Amino acid sequence: MNTSSPGPARNNRKAPRCERHDALLHPEEQAELAARFPAGHQAQMAFLLAAYTRNASAVAALLGTRARTVHRYCRGWSMPPGPRLRRALRRRVLDLVCPRCLSDRAVEEARQAKRDARRAARRIPREQDGPHR
């Protein structure tokens, strides 16, 4: 799909697109992203709420809204979310669904685990020696 050309291909908002990884995604990864991306604001809000273990206040803090609003949108509130909330919701859901974002997150968690292990290994000799005077 040529996104630099004008017309329907450029303005197609139905296909989810990760801003950071859109150019890097292979066709099979794009298909996986499209299959896993929830359709509709209510489904996206419910997906995000489930991803954060039903913690509405955490989701509300991520989206910049109130927990009550999160619950309302999950239940199918008749008021549509505003453009700012729609963008924030879409960006957060894409971070949880995009295959490249998931692999980036796994790599970063592995690096953090290695850092923590090195720090713990450096602390052990100091604690065993006792106080130095």
How do residues 34-88 score in pLDDT, each as one tens digit?
888 888 888 999 999 999 988 999 999 999 999 999 999 888 888 888 899 999 9
The residue ranges of every structural domain in the chain are 38-121
Q: Which of 63, 31, 66, 28 is nearest to 47 (CA)?
A: 63
Provide the whole-model pTM: 0.65
Residue 91 has pLDDT above 50, yes or no: yes
CA proximity to 90, closest of 63, 69, 65: 63
Which uninterrupted H or E stretch holds 78? none
SS3 state of residue 108: helix
CA 117, chain centre distance (Å) = 26
Res 118 pLDDT > 60: yes
**What is the Cα–Cα distance from 67 to 57, expressed in whole angstroms?**
5
Band of the pLDDT at 94, cuts 50, 70, 90? confident
CA dihedral 89, 35, 74, 40 (to 10 degrees): 70
Place of tokens 């009550």: 68
Answer whether 52's CB lies under 8 Å from 92's CB. Answer: no
